[in-house]
Amino acid sequence: MNNHIAVDIGASSGRLVRGILQEGILSLEELHRFSNSFTEQEGSCFWDIDYLVEQIMIGLRKAKTDGITTCTLGIDTWGVDYVLVDADGNRVQEVYAYRDRRTDLAVDQVAQQLSPQTVYEKTGIQQLSINTLNQLYVHKEEELAQADQILLVPDYLYYRLTGRRINEVTIASTTQLLNLESRDFDDDLLEFLNIRKDQFAKLTEPGVVVGPLDEALIQQYDLPECQLICVASHDTASAVLGAPLQEGSAYISSGTWSLLGVERTEPLNSLKAMQANYTNEWGAYGTYRFLKNVMGLWLIQEVRRLLNNCYSFAELAELAQGEEGFRSLIPCNAPRFLNPSNMIEEIRSACMESEQPVPETSGQLARCVFDSLALSYLTYLEELEELTERRIEGLQIVGGGANNRLLCQLTADVIGREVKAGPTEATALGNIVVQMISTDSIADITEARAIIEQSFEITSYIPQPIKHFNNILNRWRSLHLSNV
Ligand code: LFR
């Protein structure tokens, strides 16, 4: 089959994209794009999973209208969130969104009963309140008991489309329940949560064929015949597969989060890595992503939303460009920015508390976010070098953030290294190339990355000097250190 379609759903938008490989050049054709967000109901935050299934149907229907009658299909989404399915295959309840405040205290509560060091040695996963381990810990016992199966979001979408249950490994690693040594669920952690191993489906590697699209869906929606292929279902895993990384270079998968890290063939779960809170998420083809979650574009997405979406992201960047740089800085990764009731007020309070000028205008707010993100990138890049004991020569930014010229240039200036930006659609590309490797159109990931590099425009940002940078850095460091 020559038609390969990626379903790529992030926290703020989703898309169905077709990948076309012709004479060594890969191109993408967007079939359908839709927005995504969680909504608040009675104080809890939930995803609308049926809406997402509906959007996949709309996208596939469009593919059929465009003349695609057969295809392969792979699905990736954000990590950590899960769906409880009962013995009849029905959803037990709505799907909690990871920003729900129910886990605010979970990290500390779990740490009182389970040594964080033991958890880190076993899993190599950073402590984040959003981790599935913490979500399951606070989940009501009677609801968990009703769950015949706990499916991560992309696994659930595969299930809805094929009726088959898998537990894809890259997404499974975001649960913080996989043991690095046994490469399986950790018995002690499952016991701690009072969960049986058979409540999770079989661990499945990217590249494996899941099965055909359900015949009833094909009839109901008039869809193409599809063969579903297990891809790297964690969006960040797909994004890094789709990044044509140079030797010695780090990456940022820049979307709702900025995932800053390096690709490795061995996990790094040293005490130092634990103390700095770096993660070892599983990748496809025997890789690990040693990375840090940085709050990312969520900050600007929320600012934009609270300004009634009256500016596009490009307009906000333009307004920020016209503002004085490094005037007000925020410690982006402080938990207060994870899901504040009002992001603009939270940013202003943080500036006020640290006795900095309070950003008033939209441009000042955006500038504060971008400057602070660029400075966080420097801090974590330097930490990465220290932890991995390797110099990082350059940075590859992939994902939507690669389009933000101001942020890319600021990042290059602040880190003092070349930034290569693109491809924007690295996640969909990572998804598609796994399908192509699985169906033998591409030999392996090395060839896939070479094809991606040849096929997509990558913009280079050369660092420019910043005036009074030492003063800025000192201000940043004392702000950052008082917040870790
Ligand atoms: C990015 C991402 C991150 C994960 C966060 C929550 O979309 O998947 O990798 O830490 O969302 O799932």
pLDDT of residue 1: 52
d(CA 140, CA 23): 54
Describe the crossing of helices 362-388 and 313-321 by its angle, rounded to 10 degrees: 90
Beta pairing class for 149-152 and 82-85: antiparallel
Reported as a single tens digit per residue, the pLDDT across 178-212 is 999 999 999 999 999 999 999 999 999 999 999 99
81 assigned to active site? no
85 within 8 A of 148, measured Cβ to Cβ: yes
Mutate to test the pocket of ligand 1, among 126, 253, 259 (most ligand atoms within 8 A of CB): 259
pTM over 0.90: yes
Ligand 1 lined by 236 (C-beta under 6 Å): yes
Ligand 1 lined by 256 (C-beta under 6 Å): yes
Residue 303 has pLDDT above 80, yes or no: yes
Reported as a single tens digit per residue, the pLDDT across 6-18 is 999 999 999 999 9
Using the mean position of ligand 1's atoms as its centre, give its distance from the Cα of residue 236 in Å: 7
Give the DSSP H or E segment for 170. helix 169-172
Give the DSSP H or E segment for 435. helix 426-438
CA distances from 439 to 4, 77, 216, 223, 343 (A): 10, 22, 25, 21, 45
Using the mean position of ligand 1's atoms as its centre, give its distance from the Cα of residue 78 in Å: 5
For residues 227-253, average pLDDT: 97
CA atoms within 13 A on the CB side of 356: 22
Reported as a single tens digit per residue, the pLDDT across 469-480 is 999 999 999 999
Residue 484 has pLDDT above 90, yes or no: no
Which residue has the least CA distance to atom 10 on ligand 1?
79
Which residue has the least CA distance to atom 1 on ligand 1?
78
Residue 448 has pLDDT above 80, yes or no: yes
Which residue has the least CA distance to atom 12 on ligand 1?
79
Instruction: Indicate if ipTM > 0.95.
Output: yes
Using the mean position of ligand 1's atoms as its centre, give its distance from the Cα of residue 32 in Å: 22
